[in-house]
Chain A
Amino acid sequence: MKFGVVIFPGSNCDYDTYYFLKFVLRVETVFLFHKESSLKDCDVVILPGGFSYGDYLRTGAIAKFSPIMKEVVRFANNGGIVLGICNGFQILCESGLLPGVLSKNTSLKFQCYNQNLKVINNSSIFTRKYSPDEVITMPIAHGEGNYIIDEEGLKELYDNNQVVLKYCDEFGNVDENSNPNGSVDNIAGICNKTGNVFGLMPHPERCSEEILGNTDGLKIFESILNK
């Protein structure tokens, strides 16, 4: 399986993601520059974290017009596997590949710490290595992770089993106290209807290696590889 990591102006988790894929997961990995219009035969495309285009206007709003995004949208609509992490999730929402939008944290604070998460859907191709309702920990680092969607859209997410991860406490309680940003229903990650596009605010690439003290994110990538 070949992985591609997109570099937008302002991406800052691109090299972390590339490093993890190439040297920890040991899979073939290439960078995809935002000005390019070829996905170089990648099987999986990752939109990394950062502040693409300085977060101007709205997070992810300008990145969606990059030449590479036209190809990513085409790829996703043909069933290609796309993972958006943090800013990548924001770009997926703005580009219409995922429903809803991410807005400023209700606290207005940039939240940067290890956050507990509950695996709500472990049947997706991104989470099939986790157990149902498994409580895991991943670092979060964002100022605009407040997931917003209207009631009808939210119902549709649940009806189609698209809610993948929720913020929770260490015991798995999903409540207001364990919500870092004000997201509706503590939603931390969702997939599209067909299950091939997944966006999440936490950073699995930052917790997938023993030396970092946490490997809870590794199963995301192992799920994609299905090994």
Chain B
Amino acid sequence: MFKAKIFIKRRRTILDPQGKAVELGIKSLGFENIKNVRVDKYIELDIEELEELEARKKVNKICDLLLANPHLEDYYFELEKL
């Protein structure tokens, strides 16, 4: 069994209005010299597979079909053996 830690990142070329709003919030707290705030997604799941390669293939497929939208987002993930 593996734990997949999946990071889904909005493409840096696409405006992230949530990140902009959070950045304004941080600045209004008085923190200066803060920039490039981005709000992304982190998803965890456990996958019952013996082989890492097989687990990797399945997680890739799940990301391609559902978790990430190819127009907006890129993803990467780490597998941790449980």
Contact = CB atoms under 8 A, between A and B. Distances in A.
Given A57-B66, A61-B66, A148 B18 contact: no
A128 interface: no
A160 B67 CA distance: 30
B72 A101 contact: yes
Interface string B31-60: 000000000000000000000000000000
A107 B69 CA distance: 21
Contacts of B66: 57, 61-62, 65
Interface string A59-103: 001100100000000000000000000000000001000001101
Interface in A103-138: 103-108
A217 interface: no
A77 to B, nearest CB: 18
B15 interface: yes
B21 interface: yes
Interface string A28-65: 00000000000000000000000000000110011001
A61 B21 contact: no
Nearest to B14: A148
A101 B17 contact: no
Interface residues of B, number: 10
A108 B17 contact: yes
Interface centre among B18, B21, B69, B72 (most CB of A within 10 A): B69
B71 A104 contact: no
A63 B69 CA distance: 14
Contacts of A141: none
A224 interface: no
Contacts of B69: 58, 61, 94, 101
A150 interface: yes
A100 B71 contact: yes
A144 B81 CA distance: 38
A174 interface: no
B17 A149 contact: no
A144 to B, nearest CB: 10
Contact of A108 (B14, B21, B67, B72): B21
B21 A150 contact: no
A58 B8 CA distance: 12
Interface of B: 14-15, 17-18, 21, 66-67, 69, 71-72
30 contacts: A57-B66, A57-B67, A58-B69, A58-B72, A61-B66, A61-B69, A62-B66, A65-B66, A94-B69, A100-B71, A101-B69, A101-B71, A101-B72, A103-B14, A103-B72, A104-B17, A104-B18, A105-B17, A106-B17, A107-B17, A108-B17, A108-B18, A108-B21, A148-B14, A148-B71, A148-B72, A149-B71, A150-B71, A182-B15, A182-B17
